[in-house]
Amino acid sequence: MDIKLDPSRDDLPLMANTSHILVKHYVLDLDVDFESQVIEGTIVLFLESGNRFKKRSSSTKVACPSESNEACKFRMPEPCQIPVTNTKTFSSKIGYNDFVICGKGEKDTSGKDGNHDNQEQASGISSSKYCCDTGNHGSEEFLLVLDCCDLSVLKVEEVDVAAVPGIEKFTRSPKLRNQIVHELMALPTDRWREQLDYYARCSQAPGCGELLFDTDTWSLQIRKTGAQTATDFPHAIRIRYRTKPQGRSVTWTSDQSGRPCVYTVGSPINNRALFPCQEPPVAMSTWQATVRAAASFVVLMSGENSAKPTQLQEGYSSWHYYVTMPMPASTFTIAVGSWTEMKPETCSSNDVATERSFSPSEAHFRYIGVCGHMEYPCRFQKSSASTQKIIPHRVFAPACLKGACQETLLPLIPPCLSAAHSVLGTHPFSRLDILIVPANFSSLGMASPHIVFLSQSTLTGMSQLCGTRLCHEIAHAWFGLAIGARDWTEEWLSEGFATHLEDVFWAKAQQQLAPHEAQEQQELRACLRWRRLQDEVQNSPEEMQVLRPNKEKTGHVSDSGSSIIRHGLNPEKVFMQVHYLKGYFLLRFLAKRLGEDTYFSFLRKFVHTFHGQLILSQDFLQMLLENIPEEKRPELSVGNIFRDWLESSGIPQPLQRERQALAECGLAQQVSAEVAKWVRVNRRPRKRKRKDREEVFEKLLPDQLVLLLEHLLEQKTVTPRTLQSLERIYRLSEQDAEVRHRWCELIVKHKYTKAYRDVERFLQEDQERSQRESFLCICS
């Protein structure tokens, strides 16, 4: 089962056999140790067997490592016995709002000798070894496969949920553990607090037999002797494990104040190096987590509750979070550091949650009917949530950035949230935390349920970069989280929508802008994106420019449920924006063709229909065309859109025809006039004649400055005198990161040594480390 991939070119495997069995709920109980840079603890999985499970086929057998000459053998697990229950384990103090409260877990002594190391391909339980079952070919046992990488798995055991006091009320067969788990998962939505409480109690129940397991590069495989189908396999299992300092799902680093911190980085391998899980998006699950760290640290996480620390002995604190909306495990996020909290002064949770009646203009936000997703406590069914323009929010950052956050970020959050609500209606999530992450963060932002990471680069210059990026991440609450792609190769369903909506939200958030000004700014941004798309198409492999690379096989998986993410491990893919840009231009094309009022009215209906679900491109396009009168959609069909936009490389043909119009927008024309002035200045001799008149330069918006500098980068030479004038007139070193990025390119291209300090600052504060090294090589 071990797959050797070349990370420079190959696809990322999703190994979990989700067609046979699904994780429905995770309970994590973890300790964060900054000294060893390890997260250690347990994760309990509550499982549900699928309709298509069957006896394990020969294709899912675990092969013996080729380098081992030792005969394959495995240890028989201990028979399941129900021990005498320690009532303290299930203390009545565990309430509905305090989940999985416990002290530090007992250290596993098998970590050194019996550790299952992914790289070494070692496996075993305690001191024994398990390679595969070659001694009994008649035994076809079910194999649970989880996505797992860069983890040391120490122990796997079945959890005796039948030992939990009071659990008998969930079933008429209290000794049938799988039936107990099934009925616990089947509790109605209005009993979600009770359900979470019993998940927590079950997660602390004693084990009743160790399970056989093995690890390879990309997966953890677990089986129980005698369990031949997913139905027979234990439906509650506990895995004790620890992360590795070099694990690719989290980054151990220091924040801007020099304090240690750790956070999930949006890795290409997602969360499989943080905890064993089912990565395929179809594995929609809920979770709850207890995380312990030194009392000086703040733990932030994807969670519906605004957690507060519980003080433990010996200088430690415990934090508890939970989620009741099923989502892919890849959306789970954690950050631990010495963050300073900031809250808005003028907007309390009572103010933002006030329920009111609808005005006639808002009536179209309300759709009568039952939601189409699996059952969970859904905000779209709450009238108070549907009228809540601004959800409760907090900002966290290192202490040294508190002033910048209060000045730039905090004032932008209410208008951006309100603007998003005015376009799409009900906020899918009940609250929002925003964290300014360390300088090594590799992008401007990342959205997860209830929490957004923003780069410190968004805090410099004017408010535009911060506002547009915030709007982009807020848009992901609807597209990317509440509505996800069923096939991760269709990234445009998340990034294309967020890029298109960021302009719409930002235009509404700038209440001082006249409609024509907002429209001009959007046209300018379209012009900039056209240039970026053109550049990317010219400098990237054609196969990576396709938005729907699997074509008619999009969404298909193997019989077991495993699949691949095409180009998922290609390092170039991290820096590509084709899914953002082509997706954006497709949605812009549709909105213009149908009329923006018609398009956004449909989009609200689409959100109401598909929230809480996974979609493919055809789900969106078919519903769009079905809801649009024929006279408004000439020559539009799903097939045509697939052909022109989603399944071809290069610039889509419909977009080619818009090229001239983009270049002729008013703000872009103003930039062209300024470029001409600078070209004249650059050509003048050092000693000018007196009759030469001074050029008068216009004040430019940040996006106009970006376009200006991009045009000047096309010039063969720009003199030091011209560069000095550019910096002085536009105060380029004080602009936002997008402007300073182009300014630094000019500095490097023309070896303008006087401004190398600006490049150094940019590399330290605004560039991810791998990019810093390559940029420094250019400078040297």
| Catalytic residue set | 473
Contacts 24+ apart (CB under 8 A), 229-232: 229/49, 229/53, 229/54, 229/55, 229/142, 230/20, 230/21, 230/47, 230/49, 230/50, 230/53, 230/142, 231/49, 231/53, 231/178, 232/142
User: How many Å apart are CA 427 and CA 380, to the nearest integer?
Assistant: 8
Contacts of 115 (CB under 8 A, 6+ apart): 122, 152, 154
Q: What are the two backbone dihedrals, phi and then psi, of residue 32, each rounded to the nearest 5 degrees?
A: -105, 120
Contacts 24+ apart (CB under 8 A), 692-696: none
DSSP 231-252: TTS-SEEEEEEEE-TT-TTEEE
Closest among 601, 636, 631 to 621, alpha carbons compared = 636
Which tokens in the block code for residue 651?
């610039």
Which tokens in the block code for residue 430?
């009940």
Q: Please name the amino acid found at residue 714.
A: E
Q: What are the two backbone dihedrals, phi and then psi, of residue 64, each rounded to the nearest 5 degrees?
A: -70, 140
Residue 525: its H or E element = helix 515-538
User: How many Å apart are CA 109 and CA 167, to the nearest integer?
Assistant: 31
Closest among 489, 521, 492, 494 to 505, alpha carbons compared = 521
Which tokens in the block code for residue 712?
């000047």
Give the count of beta carbons closer than 10 Å to the beta carbon of residue 591: 18
Which tokens in the block code for residue 749?
């291209």
Decide: 249 and 168 in contact? Cβ < 8 Å: no
- DSSP3 helix / strand / coil % (the chain, rounded to 5): 40, 20, 45
